[in-house]
């Protein structure tokens, strides 16, 4: 096996291990044993578990972000919301190990290299789309950031649930997410009422 092939093998083995056991419960020994190599081979390629984990997460972040970014091009905003939801569900269905790696917490990763960073990037793109719609409808475009975070959070949490549930079909899940989001957005109050402050 060439050095490049060995590197890819180790990434693949580690991805599966991190998905199954999480970062903390996976050791270099585990990865080496699964790959049928010695521990020094892992250290030689990645410098340790942290380096290997960072490569795995970076690949998953790029893969998921590419899918969702592609889904957020062209079309009516309602269609864009459904396409983005379906892109996430497609990723979960096709790459459950990758998604499990992304949604697990790790002490070595910050908010710039994990699922949170993907969600923030997607929310930023959604903010631009919502901002235009808000202007057209007479709403304060400054609130687009808040609404984009809410929409992305709703889709992400539903995706985490669907990872294990797998029912109903992803197309049905996406359409119901859009039903809730869009019908809610289409009847927004420009200044929604809120509960009065209660004395402590």
Q: What is the pLDDT of residue 32?
A: 97
Mark the ranges of the chain whose per-residue pLDDT is less than 50: 109-110, 112
On whether residue 19 sits in a domain, the answer given is no
On whether residue 1 sits in a domain, the answer given is no
On whether residue 145 sits in a domain, the answer given is yes
Instruction: Name the packing angle between helices 96-103 and 77-94 (round to 10°).
Output: 100
Q: Indicate the number of domains in the chain.
A: 1
| Domain CATH code at residue 74 | 1.10.357
Q: What is the pLDDT of residue 187?
A: 78
On whether residue 196 sits in a domain, the answer given is no
Q: Residue 22 and residue 103: Cα distance in Å, rounded? A: 10
Q: What is the pLDDT of residue 134?
A: 85
Q: Kindly report, residue by residue over 69-122, the tens digit of the pLDDT.
A: 888 887 788 888 889 899 999 999 999 999 999 887 655 544 546 788 888 888
Q: What is the pLDDT of residue 53?
A: 93
On whether residue 98 sits in a domain, the answer given is yes
> Structural domain of residue 127, as residue ranges?
57-186
On whether residue 21 sits in a domain, the answer given is no
Q: What is the pLDDT of residue 103?
A: 86
**H-type alpha helices, the chain:** 3-25, 28-35, 39-46, 49-71, 77-94, 96-103, 115-137, 144-165, 170-185
Q: Find, among 71, 76, 194, 185, the residue nearest to 134 by Cα.
A: 185
Q: Residue 30 and residue 49: Cα distance in Å, rounded? A: 10
On whether residue 182 sits in a domain, the answer given is yes
Q: What is the pLDDT of residue 90?
A: 94
Q: Residue 14 and residue 141: Cα distance in Å, rounded? A: 44
Q: What is the pLDDT of residue 59?
A: 92
Q: What is the pLDDT of residue 37?
A: 97
Q: What is the pLDDT of residue 107?
A: 54
On whether residue 20 sits in a domain, the answer given is no
**Cβ-Cβ contacts under 8 Å for 91 (sequence gap 6 or more):** 63, 64, 67, 98, 99
Q: What is the pLDDT of residue 158?
A: 94
Q: What is the pLDDT of residue 108?
A: 52
């Amino acid at each position: 096996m060439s050095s490049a092939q060995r590197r890819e093998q180790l990434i693949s083995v580690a991805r599966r291990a991190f998905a199954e056991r999480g970062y903390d419960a996976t050791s270099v020994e585990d990865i080496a044993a699964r790959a049928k190599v010695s521990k020094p081979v892992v250290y030689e390629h990645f410098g340790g578990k942290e380096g290997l984990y960072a490569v795995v997460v970076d690949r998953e972040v790029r893969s998921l972000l590419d899918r969702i970014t592609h889904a957020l091009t062209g079309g009516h905003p309602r269609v864009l919301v459904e396409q983005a939801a379906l892109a996430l569900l497609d990723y979960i269905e096709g790459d459950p190990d990758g998604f499990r790696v992304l949604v697990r917490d790790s002490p070595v990763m910050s908010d710039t290299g994990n699922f949170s960073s993907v969600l923030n990037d997607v929310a930023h793109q959604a903010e631009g789309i919502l901002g235009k719609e808000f202007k057209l409808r007479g709403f304060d475009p400054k609130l687009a950031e808040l609404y984009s975070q809410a929409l992305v959070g709703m889709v992400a949490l539903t995706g985490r649930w669907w990872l294990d549930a797998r029912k109903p079909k992803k197309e049905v899940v996406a359409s119901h997410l859009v039903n809730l989001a869009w019908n809610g957005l289409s009847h927004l109050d420009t200044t929604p009422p809120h509960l009065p402050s209660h004395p402590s």
